[in-house]
Amino acid sequence: MDVQQLLRRYNLRPRHKLGQNFLVSTPALQAVLDAAELRPTDTILEIGPGLGVLTRELTRRAQCVTAVELDSALASVVRNELSDTQNLHLHEGDILKLDHASLIERHCASARPYKVVANLPYYITSFVLRRLLETEPRPDLIVVMVQKEVAERAVATPPNMNLLSVAVQLYGCPEMTAAVPAAAFIPRPEVDSAVLRIRLRPSPLFTDIGSDRFFEVASAGFGQKRKGLINALSSNLGLQKEDVRVALEGAQIEPLARAQELKLEDWARLCQNLPHS
Ligand code: SAM
């Protein structure tokens, strides 16, 4: 049954507030499935199954699917429409508030390894990505439909880095596998989308530094876009400019460099050279 029919049948209206843009394009759906490289042994976490269009395809191709939906009306639709499906475990709740790894473990044989496949609600994309990247056990693959601009930011390289590309690339290797036009959704969003795939590393880079320290320094560096690194780091970390200048020199970074020009290795060397405030 198609999305329009389901909405009519259950007397539902898409809720903009919950980022409800339903996939109606077969090529776009296929692009998500292809990027996920699904195998019959896979354990999947889907965020926001909506009316269950992607969910059904996931249950056909993987061993076990845990889906988390915030909207109870949509959860009822999925329960009803996919009642014949044995390997789907639907949970009603907020993905940002629950312990998704325990949930997967409860329903599927194991949460290690697992993949995340989702058409993400746009209003929480960055929070969800952060949570998936930072919470152990991490998935080994994330395939998400996101705003095209978010995918472009995630795959950015120097001199166009940003805090999202630093975070994503610390944990994994991102690629934009498909561009998806706004017309692929109902209702049609204002911007185009893209399929973002992140292959996670077995462990994040620079474990000796620690991700808290790494992000403390990187966030400080990106904190004031117009300022050079010396000014941004000194004011955001509460350090003397001279100490920052010496640390940049020790890390072999140009004193006039800006945050977006730095590679991940540069941030790591900088963390090692900067004094703690
Ligand atoms: N998967 C469906 C599809 O592709 O057509 C729907 C995708 S729609 C972009 C996003 C879905 O996420 C909606 O079903 C929405 O209700 C759900 N959602 C929004 N916020 C959520 C949250 N915090 N936790 C879980 N699901 C959420």
Per residue in 105-162, pLDDT tens? 998 876 679 999 999 999 999 999 999 999 999 999 999 999 999 999 999 999 999 9
For residues 151 and 223, state if they share a domain.
no
**34 alpha carbon, distance to own chain's centre:** 18
For residues 238 and 188, state if they share a domain.
no
Q: Separation of 36 CA from ligand 1 center, angstroms?
A: 18
DSSP class of residue 15 equals -
Q: Does residue 93 sit within a domain?
A: yes
Contact 142, 132 (CB under 8 A): yes
The pLDDT, as a whole number, for residue 255 is 86
Q: Does residue 206 sit within a domain?
A: no
For residues 146 and 31, state if they share a domain.
yes
For residues 179 and 230, state if they share a domain.
no
CA-based end-to-end distance of the chain: 59
The pLDDT, as a whole number, for residue 137 is 92
- What is the distance between the alpha carbons of residues 8 and 5, in angstroms, rounded to a whole number? 5
Contact 153, 165 (CB under 8 A): yes
Residue with tokens 């980022």: 19
Q: Counting atoms of ligand 1 from 1, which one is nearest the CA of 55? A: 1
- What is the distance between the alpha carbons of residues 268 and 213, in angstroms, rounded to a whole number? 10
Contact 35, 195 (CB under 8 A): yes
Which tens digit of pLDDT belongs to each residue from 267-277? Answer: 999 999 998 87
Looking at the structure of the chain, the number of domains it has is 2
Domain holding 235, by residue range, is 211-273
- What is the distance between the alpha carbons of residues 62 and 87, in angstroms, rounded to a whole number? 8
The pLDDT, as a whole number, for residue 226 is 72
For residues 189 and 227, state if they share a domain.
no
3-state secondary structure of 58: helix
Q: Separation of 255 CA from ligand 1 center, angstroms?
A: 45
What does pLDDT average to over the chain? 95
Contacts of 21 (CB under 8 A, 6+ apart): 14, 119, 122, 185, 186, 187, 188, 189
For residues 250 and 161, state if they share a domain.
no
For residues 183 and 54, state if they share a domain.
yes
For residues 105 and 18, state if they share a domain.
yes
- What is the distance between the alpha carbons of residues 83 and 106, in angstroms, rounded to a whole number? 20
Contact 123, 131 (CB under 8 A): no
* Closest listed residue to residue 270, CA positions, set 255, 257, 252: 252
Q: Does residue 205 sit within a domain?
A: no
Choose one of 71, 74, 76 to mutate for the ligand 1 pocket test, by most ligand atoms within 8 angstroms of C-beta: 71
Domain boundary among 200, 229, 246: 200
CATH number at residue 157: 3.40.50.150
Rg of the Cα trace of the chain?
Answer: 21
For residues 171 and 216, state if they share a domain.
no
Pocket of ligand 1 from Cβ distances under 6 Å: 18-23, 47-50, 53-54, 68-71, 74, 94-96, 119, 121, 124
For residues 252 and 186, state if they share a domain.
no
The pLDDT, as a whole number, for residue 112 is 78
* pLDDT tens-place values along the chain, 277 residues long: 689 999 999 999 999 999 999 999 999 999 999 999 999 999 999 999 999 999 999 999 999 999 999 999 999 999 999 999 999 999 999 999 999 999 999 988 766 799 999 999 999 999 999 999 999 999 999 999 999 999 999 999 999 999 999 999 999 999 999 999 999 999 999 999 999 999 999 999 998 998 899 999 999 999 976 778 999 999 999 999 999 999 999 999 998 899 999 999 999 999 999 988 7
For residues 48 and 169, state if they share a domain.
yes
The pLDDT, as a whole number, for residue 276 is 82
The pLDDT, as a whole number, for residue 258 is 93
